[in-house]
Amino acid sequence: MLIVWNDPINLMNYVVHVFRSYFGYPREEAERLMLLVHHKGHAVVASGPREEVERHAQAMHDYGLQATIARDAP
Amino acid sequence: MRIAAAPDGVRIEFAAEEAGLLTVLAHQFVDVVRDPELDDAPLLASLFPDAYRGDAEASAEFSRYTRDELEERKIAAAERISGTAREGLVVLDADEVEAWVRALTGIRTMVGTRLGIREDGDEPDAGPLAEIYGWLGELQWVLVDTMEGA
């Protein structure tokens, strides 16, 4: 699964924008995930086969988000 | 700086020093990405994070086949800023706004790291660099809001 971690640089509206434009999440879901990242320190934002999740991780790094891949939720 | 939504993007009015600053920072960012020796490890760790926490081998493998493309895209985005920022009216289409916003994250990461911002709540010491960091955040915030139609 793909985990996005909280960081002190990225703006809240930018994180919502990334979740909306890259994953296509509706605004409400993107905001829910962003708030999870912000308050809990991380959120699982996608899951799937390893190749697909690695592609997502690369895209998140391109957007400047702190994303990691794990088999289980942290 | 004045920012307004345009039919397919945004219109920004920059003062000369604002456009100059953005251009300098975009060039610095490109230099750091091209030549990692120029900057410190925390910045590169933020720009190119380990994909597998606690698994150096898997992270290194991920890096081997993603790093070049990531570097190219980050450089290209920063060059969109240095190529378009200028004094006076700058009109960006939706595609350019997207690249600007992505590049601004990288540039803010560079400046924020230099200011010692490592976690939420870290307040940089007041000074010119902290002011620049705040200004970059405002610019990015407004661009994202404009893009999101907020």
Q: What is the pLDDT of residues A1-55, one digit of tens each?
A: 999 999 999 999 999 999 999 999 999 999 999 999 999 999 999 999 999 999 9
**CA nearest B76 in A: which residue?**
A62
Question: Which residues of chain B have a CB within 8 Å of the CB of A11?
Answer: 137, 140-141, 144
Closest chain A residue to the Cα of B51, Cα to Cα: A68
Q: How many domains does chain B have?
A: 1
| C-alpha A45, offset from chain centre | 5
Whether A8 and B109 lie within 8 Å, measured CB to CB: no
Verify whether the Cβ–Cβ distance B108 to A9 is below 8 Å.
yes
Instruction: Check whether B98 has a pLDDT greater than 90.
Output: yes
Q: Which positions ≥6 away from B125 have C-beta within 8 Å?
A: B115
Helices (H), A1-74: 12-23, 27-40, 50-63
Whether ipTM tops 0.90, in short, is yes
Q: Which residues from chain A sit within 8 angstroms of residue B98, using beta carbons? A: 21
Chain A residues whose beta carbon lies within 8 Å of the beta carbon of residue B106: 64
What's the pLDDT at A23?
98
Best of A60, A62, A66 to substitute, by most chain B Cβ atoms within 10 angstroms, is A62
Residues pairing with B80 in the sheet = none
How far is C-alpha B22 from the chain's CA centre?
10
Beta-carbon separation of A64 and B50 below 8 A = no
At B101-143, the pLDDT tens digits run 999 999 999 999 999 998 888 888 899 999 999 999 999 999 9
Domain range spanning residue B17? 2-149
Q: Residue B36 and residue B125: Cα distance in Å, rounded?
A: 26
